[in-house]
Amino acid sequence: MSRPIMLVFLLVILIVTSQFEWRQPLLELDAAPSLSQKHQQIAKREEAVKEKIILSQERHIQRLNDLVRILQMQLQRCKGENETRNATETTHLNRQFIELERKHIVED
């Protein structure tokens, strides 16, 4: 009796281990799509992050362009004010020079 029991026991062990071996590749095949899905999700997240970064950089570039435009306008205004100031000073100096010449001519 011990021999048939031992054979049955070995047969059961053989069947159970073969089931595990057959199921393991099936589990690996089942895991492969989930890994692929995870990779796709990760790729989508990375793409979304890249797009957000690009949009943020575009906003910063637009702000910088606006600042450059404002600074250029301020520079033009300053140049215009300086030209006006220089013209006024030149006119004033010319008047003073003419007055000095007149005084000099009158004194001579």
Domain extents in the chain: 44-107
- pTM greater than 0.85 (yes/no): no
Q: List, for residues 20-41, the tens digit of each pLDDT value.
A: 655 555 555 555 667 788 889 9
Q: Round to whole Å and give the CA distance between 89 and 25.
A: 94
Of residues 19 and 75, which shows the higher confidence score?
Answer: 75
Q: List, for residues 48-101, the tens digit of each pLDDT value.
A: 999 999 999 999 999 999 999 999 999 988 888 877 777 777 777 778 877 777
List of E strands, 1-108: none
